[in-house]
Every structure is written in C-alpha cells, then in structure tokens.
Amino acid sequence: MQSKHLVLGTTVLLLQALVPAAHAIEQQAQEALPGAPASQTSAAALPLTLEQAIQMALSANPALRSATRAIGIADGAVLQAGTRPNPELSFLSEGTDRNTRTETTQINQVIELGGKRGARIAVAKQERNIAISEVSARRAELRADVITAYMDALTAQERVALAQASFDLAHKSTDVTSRRVTAGKISPVEQTRSSVAEAAARLELTQAQADLALARRRLFAFWASPRQSDRPLLAPDAAFDHLPAWSELAGRLESSPQIRRAQAAIAGRDAQVALERAQRIPDLTVTVGSQRERELGRRQGVIGLSVPLPLFNRNQGNTLSALRRADQARDDLEAERLRLNQALADAYQRAEVASTQTVTLRNEVLPAAQSAYDAAVTGFELGKFGFTDVLDAQRTLFQTKAQYLRALGDRYRSISDIERYVPNAGTPTTESTLK
C-alpha cells in the first residue's frame, strides 16, 4: 500500500512539475475578468505581457525621454539659423565745441552673400534629422533591451516553478521514504539519500527565487516602476518560432536605425561643408545715415558700402576640416555596416543553434527522460529497482527540463539581438504560455 502511495504521490508531483507556470497565470487572468472579486482584479495580480512592457518602457524610459529632447533643441537651432543679422545703429561726433562739431548718425546692415543663410538652415535641419535618427536608434535598442530583460525574467519565472515542483516532489519522497524505513521495507540509507536530494532541491529553489527577483528588478527598471514587480509574466504565443531567412534579414539591415543614423551623419557633414564654402565669400555691409555740420548749418546724407578683402583668411582651414569630417562620416558608415552585418550574423547563428536545441530537447530528450522516470517508478513498485534509481531518473528529468529552459532563454536573447538591428524581425503580437 505504501508503495502505491509513493507511486501515486511522485506521479502527481511530476505532473505538477511539467505543467508550465503560465497555466496558473492564465487562471489568475480569468479570475480577474469582470464580476470577479475586487481582491482578484488588482493591478498587481494581472499578468504583464511583452507588448505592454515594451510600450511602458517606450513611454516612460528616462534615457529615451532625454534623447527625445534633442529634437526640440534642434528645432530651436533651425529657427535661429534662419534669422538675419541685426542692423547696427551708430553715432559719431567730430569735435567738442557744440557750435562747430559735426554729428553723424548712421545705420549699418550686413547683407550675407554666398547663400550663407540657406546653408545654415540646411545644417540645422540635418542636425534635426540626426537627432530624429538617434531617437529611432535609441528606441530600437531600448525595445531589444526590454525584450531581453522580459525573456530573462520569464525564463527565471519558469525556473522557479520548476524548482518549486522539484522541491515539492523531493519533500514528498522524503516523507514516503521515512515511512517505509520505519516500516522496515527499505534501508535507512535510502532515507539519507532522499534527504540530501530534498536539501539540494531547496537550495535550487532559493537560488531560482533570487534570480527571479533580480531579473524582475532589471525589467521594471526600464520604466522606473518597481511597484509592479509582483505581476506575473506571460510568454508570447509561439514566441519567435518563425525565424526569417538570412537573406531577408540581411536585406532589411540597410534600413536599420543604426544605418539611418550613420547616413544622417553623412548628410549633416555634407551640409557643413556647404556652409564652410559659403563662408569664404565675404559679406557686404551697407551704411545709410545723416551727417550734420553745426558750423555751416547744413545736413547731408551718408551712404556707404564695405566688404572685407579675402586676402589671408578665406576660411580654408574650416573648409578642409569639414571635408575631412565628411570623409570620416562615410568611413563610419562603412564600419557600422560591417559591424552590424557581423553582429546580425552572430545573433542569427546563435538563434539557429538554440532553435535546434529547443526542438531536440522538446521532441526527443524530454519524452525520453519522462519515459525513463516512468519506468523507474514502475520498476520500484515491482521491486526491480531501488529508490536510488527513482531519484536518479527524477534528477535527470528535472535537469533536462532546466536545460530546455536555458536553450529557450538563449533563443530569446539571440532573437532580441536580431531585433536590435532589424526591428520587428520576429516579435510576437499575441500572448500565451511557454511551449
């Protein structure tokens, strides 16, 4: 009878270990529907989806908000670039005797030549485009960081559920073993082994809970809202199951935010070159005024023109620097393109390897470990195996499940890196449980 109880207890707890933690989360979400008690509909009990986490980070992340301010700063620069030089009012008095001195009042107006104003506006607009592309790149990077943090927290959450099930099973096994030792049916050594397995499971659970708390803090720090740290996480439905072909990803890389940012930098440097070339042309100053000679009692108009002679300073140094900066920006674009291709290729390869591992573990290794555990339990019931065999099979089953979670986490992280360079490459839109 005790043997049957052991088999029944271990089987029930094994099923609890293999049922995803998201099943309980879905039950909580159903209980939170309209008509449920208020205690069940609290915000803390509602699941947090990946899309919700991304939207909260994009709307409340301080670093992204700071980067967005650069667009407003550039708007001010565009406005200032379009202003024209102010006129200058001057008064000149020749002589100190009030009756004989000559007084001249004039207005000087600088007239910009060579298209300087248009060149300044072009530079300011390009700076605004650079700011916009920088924000786009920041958004893509933030989005990828949130996906990575979310998936890390989700994997940690699943690992806690697995560790809890392992501990519950080990504790139940210890109780059953203790009763069988008392009844004299098995050796006390089996009880010692069972107690050691329970202690190891307890340590694993403690470590998993600590890792989950750390992963949650990292996730919720993206929008500075630790008050929601108790919200359970939902795995995206068929998350990243479809990995686009390499040719498709490589073709989309040219439109990535990082490439657009580098291209905007080139356009900005070219606009600066045009401005420096315009600065070589001297400006014309027009003078209009009135001169009064008190001794003769007459007044006459004053008209004048002045222009600098570009004999020594033709802005050649600034022009040369602007040209070299433009060349540097083009080199930076090529370097960025090579870097992104390498990073995308690495992430794609890691995603393929992780995909193969998850499929193999899910379809082959996990069923084999389950079958071995069932055979060990049946053999123990028939007296063919010792309890050590049951513990070994149980340990192998849970280790295989943990290995599957690690491979799944590696796949999530590699896809997140792909999202960093090619946004919306495989981000899911609906939510479900981990498969």
pLDDT at 316: 94
pLDDT at 385: 73
CB atoms within 10 A of CB 426: 19
Give the global pTM: 0.73
Q: Which of 253, 259, 267, 264 has its CA nearest to residue 132?
A: 264
CATH number assigned to the domain covering 2-86+119-280+310-432? 1.20.1600.10
Q: Where are the alpha helices (DSSP H) in 279-315?
A: none
Average pLDDT over all residues of the chain:
82
pLDDT at 124: 96
Going by pLDDT thresholds of 50, 70 and 90, the confidence category of residue 426 is low
The structure tokens 């796949």 sit at 411
User: Residue 318 above 50 pLDDT?
Assistant: yes
pLDDT at 84: 94
Going by pLDDT thresholds of 50, 70 and 90, the confidence category of residue 12 is very low
Look at 7 and 307; give whichever has higher pLDDT.
307
Residues in CB range of 184: below 8 A, 6 or more apart: none
Distance CA 20, CA 15 (A): 10
Contact 360/251 with Cβ under 8 angstroms?
Answer: no
Beta bridge partners of 102: 94, 293
Look at 298 and 39; give whichever has higher pLDDT.
298
Distance CA 371, CA 377 (A): 10
Average pLDDT over residues 154-161: 89
Q: Which of 435, 398, 402 has its CA nearest to residue 10?
A: 398
Tokens encoding 366: 């996990």
Going by pLDDT thresholds of 50, 70 and 90, the confidence category of residue 162 is confident
239-282 pLDDT tens trace? 455 778 888 888 899 989 999 999 999 999 999 999 999 999 99
CA-based max dimension of the chain: 137
Picking from 11-15, 68-72, 197-201, 300-304, which range would have the lowest pLDDT averaged per residue? 11-15
Angle, CA 164 vertex, CA 159 and CA 170 arms, to 5° = 125
Angle, CA 160 vertex, CA 407 and CA 373 arms, to 5° = 70
Burial class (CB in 10 A: 0-12, 13-18, 19+), 382: exposed
pLDDT at 243: 77
pLDDT at 240: 52
Contact 381/4 with Cβ under 8 angstroms?
Answer: yes
3-state DSSP assignment of residue 185: coil
pLDDT at 176: 73
CB atoms within 10 A of CB 398: 23
3-state DSSP assignment of residue 375: helix
Going by pLDDT thresholds of 50, 70 and 90, the confidence category of residue 381 is low
